[in-house]
Amino acid sequence: MSTTTPFPQGFLWGGATAANQVEGAYGQGGKGLSVQDVMPRGIVGPRTAEPTADNLKLEAIDFYHRYAEDIALFAKMGFGVYRFSIAWSRIFPKGDEAEPNEEGLAFYDRVLDELEKHGIEPLVTISHYETPLHLAETYDGWTDRRLIGFYENYARTLFERYGSRVKYWLTFNEINSLLHAPFMSGGINTPKEQLSDAQLYQAMHHELVASARATRIAREVAPNAQIGCMVLSMPVYPLTPSPADALAVMDFDHSNLVYGDVHTRGAYPGYFLRTLREKGIELEITDQDREDLTNTVDFVSFSYYMSVAQTADPAKKVTGEGNIMGGVPNPTLEASEWGWQIDPVGLRLVLNQFWDRWQKPLFIVENGLGARDELVEVDGVPTVIDDYRIAYLNDHLVQVGEAITDGVNVLGYTSWGCIDIVSASTAQLSKRYGFIYVDRNDDGSGTLERFEKKSFGWYAEVIRTNGASLTR
Ligand code: BG6
């Protein structure tokens, strides 16, 4: 093992989850319904009118009752940071109330107490794919400007309550997924096929303004808070060296980079205004909106799972599987069982691209491999020999080290689904990401007991050595 490491002292190592994928306790503590409660098949299947018993998220992995045990396991791995989200519908059950639900607020006080006890820094996502269902059904989600005010009230409530205890905040999870998954990402009730581009871009504008207003409120209410945006990163390669394919790459990149551009520069970039003009869309943007957008973020966070290729050739433009948006499969890469193409170098590329472009500290807040695990016994103790996960994480972390050596400012890394959780895209439990195995199956059976996988000890060693134990 090497004794040197490119990771700076104080680099934040940890893991990440989202409320709707771990908490369960559906309907408890005064919680209202969220869009997730009517998505039993994630984004791949139809939504239901009411929550149905086959929706694994109603119980999820019962973090709501087991958070102390789970946080103790994170501490055993040496986590310096834990990213989790607050369920909007625990705090404002319908989303449009004036006053928050105290029981919901008290739950996150207890989670923060537990993290403090173990010296783990919280990293809080304010909105992670869990818009209150009432806002979807009554207002059509973020298509309606009034959502800005409801979100503002929610964000202010969180900053006032937890602002002295939480330093790192993310406004919206994967804000650039809105156009691809309008119901899950934006609480937009109208089916995607029936939405016009104008409605979708207006919803995007509302979220961007809400995000900027949250940043402004944090500056007043919680001056020590560091506010970050959060984007789904998808590095993209031209399928061939043709200039036309390079342009297809630029267009795809622009469609994602615009979110970070607005969050870091405080205004819409020219290429985006061109897109609107060419689509004949005139967004409703007030002077106050323009002013609000100038409240730029302190850092940029992102998820990274895979890269894609793009082409201008319609005959080759088949869209492969992937994290929400997908793209043209890259013939040089292997894929996970769910068709997500594995590309550790893509992480170094995206870190460099974001740093070069925005010059803001970066935080990798999601990365990991969804895989089927088999529980076995070793010396009488149940475990999973997940060498495939160790290899995936090792190779990605080596590339993070390369990017740091390139001069990129990286604050930390939180591995996605550090404990097994319900998948966002397919709502399965069998798509596991964790260092900790949770005994729960896709049919809902299982004891919910937790077991350490082989990767648990491996990650603990990576953290203990600040990355020196990685295999380069
Ligand atoms: C991101 C989301 O898209 O990817 C997470 O922020 C999600 O909520 C993660 O769980 C992995 O995707 P999936 O579909 O495998 O759960």
Task: Tell me how far the alpha carbon of residue 426 lies from the centroid of ligand 1, in angstroms.
Answer: 9
Catalytic-role residue among 23, 174, 207, 452? 174
* pLDDT per residue as tens digits for the range 56-65: 999 999 999 9
* pLDDT at residue 326 in the model: 76
Task: Tell me how far the alpha carbon of residue 455 lies from the centroid of ligand 1, in angstroms.
Answer: 20
Q: Which atom of ligand 1 is nearest to the CA of 425?
A: 14
pTM over 0.95: yes
Residue 174 near ligand 1, beta carbon < 6 Å: yes
Whether pLDDT at 321 is above 90: no
Q: What is the mean pLDDT of residues 294-307?
A: 98
Whether pLDDT at 286 is above 90: yes
Residue 329 near ligand 1, beta carbon < 6 Å: no
Whether pLDDT at 126 is above 80: yes
* pLDDT at residue 3 in the model: 78
Task: Tell me how far the alpha carbon of residue 423 lies from the centroid of ligand 1, in angstroms.
Answer: 6
Average pLDDT, the chain: 97
* pLDDT at residue 276 in the model: 98
Q: Which atom of ligand 1 is nearest to the CA of 433?
A: 15
Whether pLDDT at 215 is above 90: yes
8 A C-beta contact, residue 120 and residue 79: yes
Residue 425 near ligand 1, beta carbon < 6 Å: yes
* pLDDT at residue 459 in the model: 99
* pLDDT at residue 137 in the model: 98
Which band of pLDDT confidence, cut at 50, 70 and 90, is reported for residue 227? very high
Residue 12 near ligand 1, beta carbon < 6 Å: no
* pLDDT at residue 44 in the model: 85
Mutate-to-test residue for ligand 1 from 184, 416, 421, 428, highest number of ligand atoms within 8 A of CB: 416
Percent share of the chain, pLDDT over 90: 96
Q: What is the mean pLDDT of residues 123-150?
A: 98
Task: Tell me how far the alpha carbon of residue 424 lies from the centroid of ligand 1, in angstroms.
Answer: 5
Q: Which atom of ligand 1 is nearest to the CA of 174?
A: 6
Catalytic-role residue among 23, 114, 366, 402? 366
Q: Which amino acid is it at 49?
A: A
Which band of pLDDT confidence, cut at 50, 70 and 90, is reported for residue 314? confident
Residue 303 near ligand 1, beta carbon < 6 Å: yes
Q: What is the mean pLDDT of residues 424-436?
A: 98
* pLDDT per residue as tens digits for the range 148-187: 999 999 999 999 999 999 999 999 999 999 999 999 999 9
Whether pLDDT at 128 is above 80: yes
Task: Return the structure tokens found at 86.
Answer: 């607050």
Task: Tell me how far the alpha carbon of residue 174 lies from the centroid of ligand 1, in angstroms.
Answer: 10
* pLDDT at residue 1 in the model: 61
Instruction: Mark whether 174 is an active-site residue.
Output: yes
